[in-house]
Chains A and B, each alone.
Chain A
C-alpha cells in the first residue's frame, strides 16, 4: 500500500495532533442529546464509543461531520499538514448506507467519483483504477472492484465503504457501528483491518460499537457515552466501571488488562 498518494502525505507518528471537542452539546427540539462532551482524539489511536441505544453516539459522529448544529467548540488541529482547520479530510462509514440498491453504480464508479472529476460515464482513468484496486486489496476486497454496489453482501459492502473512506487517506476516520449485520468471521476480519490501518496510516479513528467484547481487544481507549461521558479510559478500566457493567449486563470479571492492545 506504499503507493505514491500515501507517500505524498508525509505522515509522522506524533501522538499530539488531535481532534479536540470542548463542552460540545447538541439539542433537538428542546431535548438534550449531548451535554458537555469534551474529548481529544489522538492520531494513531482507536477510540471506541459505547453506550445504550439513543445515547447520542451517532449524533456525536454527525456533529463531527458538521451536519448537526452544536454548542461548544470543535477544533481540528492543522498539524495534519493538509486541509484547513475547519475542514479536515474525514473518512466516514455510516451505520447503514441508505442507498438505492438498483442504482447501476459499480464499486469502481464510487471510487472514481471521489478520486477525480473525470466523468465516470466516459471511462475510468488508469490511475483511479489502480488506486481503487490497491485500497480494496488492503481490506481484502480487491475482487469486488467491478461488482455493482447493490449486489454486495453486508460484510462486503462494509469493507468497500471502509476502503472508500480511506481514499484518499483522511485525517480522521469515523465508523458508525461498522459491524452491525456482519457475521462473526466478518467482524474479526473488519476489526483486524481497522486496527492494522490505524498503525499503518497513523490515523485517528472514532468507532461506535455495541460489541464491547469484540472492540476491547483492538481499542486504545473506550468511552462510555450516555448523553454525557460517563466513563473513559483503557478498555479494561471502562469495562470495570459499574454503570458500564450494568448496561451491558456483565457479570463475569473483567478480562485481564494484557488483552487490551
Chain B
C-alpha cells in the first residue's frame, strides 16, 4: 500500500498528490476487471434487469442498517440484497411468472420501503450520497475488502464461466449435459449481489448497474468469441475507470457517473467499429 502511494505520488499530476485519489485509483483498478468479467455473463444470461434491481433495492438495506443503528450499513446491505436476489430467482422459479414482472415488483417494494425508512424524521438528504456515490468513502480497509472480494468472486467466475455460458446459451442444453443449472444460477446471482453491494457506496445506487452492463454491451458489438468479448469489456472498463476517476477530479463531478459517461463514449466507438466492419465486409 505504501509502495503504491509512493509510486503514484511521484507522477507529475496534480491529482496524484492526494491520498484519497491514489486509494480510489487502486480501488478502480481492482474492481473494474471484475465488473467487466461479470458483466459479460450478466448480459449473456439476460440478467441486466436483475442486477439493476439489486442495486436500486439496496436502499432498503441501507435503511435497515440505519434502523439497526449500525455505523457501517454494509453488512445489513449485503444480507438484505442476498435474501432479495435469491428470493427473486426462487419466486420466478416457483410461480413461473415472467421474470421482469417479479423483478419489477420486488424492486418497487424495496425502493419504497427504503425511502420510507430513510425519510423518517425528514432527513433523507443525509443519505443522498448513497444515491450518487462518494469516492471519499473509500478507505484503505475498503480497498483490502474489495481485493478479497475480487479474488474470491473473480476466481469463482473463472471456474464457473463455461457452465454459466452454456446455461445462458440454452438451459435445456446445459441440463442435458448433466449440469446442476439451479445451483450454478444461485451461486452466480449471489456473486452479482456481492459485487454490486460492495461497490454501491462509491459508485452510487443509481448507476452501479451501468458498471456491469455498459462494457459488456460495448464488447458485444465487436467481439466474435468469448475471449474477445471479455478482452474488449476489460479494456473498456479499466480505461473508463481510470479516465473517469481522473476526469471527475478535474471536472469536480461525481466519480461513478463520470466513469459511466466515459463508458458510454466507448460504447459509441464500438458501434462505429461495428458499422465500419459491416461497410467493409459488404465490399469484400
Contact = CB atoms under 8 A, between A and B. Distances in A.
B265 interface: no
B226 A109 contact: yes
Contact of B169 (A89, A99, A112, A122): A99
Given A109-B165, A121-B37, A91 B176 contact: yes
A119 B161 contact: yes
B interface residue count range (under 10 / 10 to 19 / 20 to 34 / 35 or more): 20 to 34
B219 A104 contact: yes
A interface residue count range (under 10 / 10 to 19 / 20 to 34 / 35 or more): 35 or more
Contacts of A89: 177-178
Q: Is the interface of A mostly helix, strand, loop or mixed?
A: loop
B172 A92 contact: yes
Given A119-B162, A120-B162, A104 B172 contact: no
Interface in B146-163: 158-159, 161-163
Contacts of A117: 159, 162-163
Contacts of B163: 113, 117
Contact of A105 (B159, B172, B176, B225): B225
Nearest to A151: B224
Contact of B166 (A62, A114, A118, A146): A114
Interface string B168-187: 11101101111000000000
Contacts of B223: 104
B170 A105 contact: no
Nearest to A164: B173
Interface string B224-237: 11111110000000
B46 interface: yes
Interface in B178-233: 178, 219-220, 223-230
Interface string A81-115: 00000010111101001111011111011101110
13 contacts: A87-B178, A89-B178, A97-B170, A105-B44, A113-B161, A113-B162, A118-B162, A119-B158, A119-B159, A120-B165, A121-B158, A121-B230, A165-B176
